[in-house]
Amino acid sequence: MDNYVRIFDTTLRDGEQSPGATMTSAEKLEVARALARLGVDVIEAGFPAASPDDLEAVRRIAVEVGALRAMRADSPAQRPPIICGLARASKKDIDKAWEAVQHAARPRIHTFLATSEIHMHYKLKMDREQVLERVIEMVSYARGLCDDVEFSPEDAGRSDPQFLYLVLGEAIKAGATTLNIPDTVGYTTPDEFGALIAGIIQNTPGVENCIVSVHCHDDLGLATANTLAGIQAGARQAEVTVNGIGERAGNTSLEEVVMALNTRRPVFNLVTGIDTTQIMRVSKLVSNYTGIVVQPNKAIVGANAFAHEAGIHQDGMLKHQQTYEIMRPEAVGVTQTHLVLGKHSGRHAFKVRLNELGYELSEADLDKAFDRFKHLADKKKTITDADLEALVADEFYQPREVFTLDGLQVVCGTMGMPTATVRLRGPDGSTHTQACIGTGPVDATYKAIDAIIQAPNTLLEFSVHAVTEGIDALGEVTVRVESRNGHYSFDTQTETDRTRTFGGHGADTDIIVASAKAYLSALNKLLVASNRAGPAETPAFVAHLQTA
Ligand code: KIV
Ligand code: ZN
């Protein structure tokens, strides 16, 4: 058995499918590029049968990311990532998946059908013979289109192992090249899941010619432990998401599995193709785009993951780093530099530092970013790497703008009614001004924005945090809104529509401005999803949508 563990990233499918994680096509493409730079082996880019938009997003990723040559000079594969599309076990879904992924240099179709008694009886209303027959038929149909076919017996964690061996053996005969074993509901324990994988490897005819994969959910907080147990039992592909986002409690987190394999190499004796120094950057990108904030104490990528607060720990750290640190922060891309640039730094130094952080901007974008940097440096004496990352995220990792903030003035405090005057520029270039009072400055600002845009929504989450320490720190605001006009996304597993929510993110030294930008970025996504631009809907907006 080889010692290479393939990293199959499903942030754009199982992750994006989870409530609140909706991303626009442009954002998905940017995440896919970042995943390719990170060195993942497979990108599950989406579920093409869900909607024409989903199909188009997967197709664009296949064309633009799946055709890239040698992502990293030292990548073991020196090849572009495999681009995978998910399909239920139906010809229609498989055709859509193939339509989307066929443009990639290395396409894959991933099809699934449930094998647990509870799923077969209540959800599929099929018996074992019917399930077996459908698996054979659909895997061979997919294999007729694509040389690389993955099959997943959904809810394998609660399936009868003897039935699994039979189904998987037939899937191999029908042409499956990867067998993915999902613990769909996050039910198993590490011992059980490891034993399930060992049993499959021992008892499934033909398994030696396939890659066995593991796909865990975190309902009991065991996803990473179960994934590692599966890998120790012989699985050589791990299905994961960035920051562990995903259905309910989430999927296995990419960064946890990769860093466990890296940090405890003597225990596992296994390698991945991941450039771990990209981890933090991809984590921030996904958090900014989805509006799903990473909890501060999250392993590897949480804000406190490398912070040593307790005096006794700090003392130990000063004596020897390894007293309390099992990984170097730089290994995951957490830069320790404090003072990087200031007011007098030139464009060249700025560009060099951005390149060192992994950002390669076009000359035009660099000009824009440098302009923002100069403004920030006027307000803030020291500009750290974290500030630069927040600035780049705010300037470039935003959804296509429909409305932009053109001006904002607030009056607040204990002496009167909090009032906000907001000026927005619409898609046709015209400006709209509105003043509102509210319970506080953010409430007043949001009311004024609502009065202009008129996109009925409920604010589900609002969070603010300082990017760095100090009174002049950049404030980062993340929001999540739910449309009250009924936007739905299709859930592949429950086969139901669920209400879509939209995340937004903004950064500024003024937290009211950051709050306004975050809200606008979420509303812009909502407007794009509903193909409208509120009261300012004009031919210019329609043309803008068509060309974007
Ligand atoms: O959790 C699950 O079972 C899935 C399958 C579609 C692989 O996401
Ligand atoms: Zn899943």
User: How wide is the angle at C-alpha 187 spanned by C-alphas 163 and 229, nearest 5°?
Assistant: 80
Q: How buried is 378 (Cβ within 10 angstroms: 0-12 exposed, 13-18 middle, 19+ buried)?
A: exposed
Ligand 1 pocket test: pick from 10, 149, 150, 152 the residue with the most ligand atoms within 8 Å of its Cβ. Answer: 152
Nearest CA to ligand 1 atom 8: 14
- Residue 176, classed as helix, strand or coil, is coil
Nearest CA to ligand 1 atom 5: 154
The answer to whether 148 touches 176, Cβ cutoff 8 Å, is no
Please report the pLDDT score of residue 484 as a whole number: 83
In ligand 1, the atom with minimum distance to the C-alpha of 247 is 1
Please report the pLDDT score of residue 139 as a whole number: 98
251 within ligand 1 shell (Cβ under 6 A): no
CB atoms within 10 A of CB 459: 15
157 within ligand 1 shell (Cβ under 6 A): no
High-pLDDT (> 70) share of the chain, %: 89
253 within ligand 1 shell (Cβ under 6 A): no
- Ranges 64-78, 390-404, 415-429, 527-541: which has the least confidence: 527-541
Q: How far is the CA of 47 from the centre of ligand 2 (A)?
A: 12
For range 382-390, the mean pLDDT: 79
H or E segment and range at residue 288 = helix 279-290
Please report the pLDDT score of residue 532 as a whole number: 45
pLDDT value at 68 more than 80: no
Inter-helix orientation angle 190-203/161-174, to 10°: 50
Q: How far is the CA of 217 from the centre of ligand 2 (A)?
A: 6
Please report the pLDDT score of residue 319 as a whole number: 66
Token duo for residue 498: 């669920």
Q: How far is the CA of 147 from the centre of ligand 1 (A)?
A: 21
Please report the pLDDT score of residue 128 as a whole number: 98
Q: How far is the CA of 153 from the centre of ligand 1 (A)?
A: 8
pLDDT value at 538 more than 80: no
154 within ligand 1 shell (Cβ under 6 A): yes
Task: Note the ligand closest to the C-alpha atom of 493.
Answer: 1
Distance between the two ends of the chain, CA-based, in angstroms?
47
Interval 177-191: pLDDT, tens: 999 999 999 999 999
246 within ligand 1 shell (Cβ under 6 A): no
Task: Note the ligand closest to the C-alpha atom of 246.
Answer: 2
Please report the pLDDT score of residue 318 as a whole number: 65
Interval 477-494: pLDDT, tens: 999 898 887 666 777 777
Total-model pTM: 0.84
389 within ligand 1 shell (Cβ under 6 A): no
pLDDT value at 362 more than 80: yes
Please report the pLDDT score of residue 63 as a whole number: 96
Q: How far is the CA of 84 from the centre of ligand 1 (A)?
A: 14
For range 382-396, the mean pLDDT: 79
Q: How far is the CA of 445 from the centre of ligand 2 (A)?
A: 39
Q: How far is the CA of 156 from the centre of ligand 1 (A)?
A: 9
15 within ligand 1 shell (Cβ under 6 A): no
User: How wide is the angle at C-alpha 341 spanned by C-alphas 337 and 346, nearest 5°?
Assistant: 145
Q: Can you tell me the distance from the alpha carbon of 85 to that of 109, in angstroms, rounded to the nearest whole number?
A: 5
Please report the pLDDT score of residue 402 as a whole number: 85
Nearest CA to ligand 1 atom 2: 184
The answer to whether 398 touches 404, Cβ cutoff 8 Å, is no
Q: How far is the CA of 75 from the centre of ligand 2 (A)?
A: 27
Task: Note the ligand closest to the C-alpha atom of 183.
Answer: 1
Nearest 10 degrees: Cα torsion 285, 286, 289, 291: -120
Q: Can you tell me the distance from the alpha carbon of 372 to that of 473, in angstroms, rounded to the nearest whole number?
A: 15
Q: How confident is the model at residue 91 (pLDDT cuts 50, 70, 90)?
A: very high
Mean pLDDT of the chain: 88
Where helices occur in 398-505 by DSSP H, the ranges are 441-453
Ligand 1 pocket test: pick from 42, 84, 110, 112 the residue with the most ligand atoms within 8 Å of its Cβ. Answer: 112
Interval 135-158: pLDDT, tens: 999 999 999 999 999 999 999 999
pLDDT value at 542 more than 70: no
For range 48-70, the mean pLDDT: 89
In terms of Cα–Cα distance, which of 132, 128, 46, 57 is closest to 89? 132
Q: How far is the CA of 431 from the centre of ligand 2 (A)?
A: 45
Torsion over CA: 452, 453, 454, 456 (sign)? negative
High-pLDDT (> 90) share of the chain, %: 61
pLDDT value at 249 more than 70: yes
For range 467-474, the mean pLDDT: 74
| Per-position DSSP letters for 16-72, written without gaps between them | TTSTT-B--HHHHHHHHHHHHHHT-SEEEEE-GGG-HHHHHHHHHHHHHTTT---SS
The answer to whether 540 touches 428, Cβ cutoff 8 Å, is yes
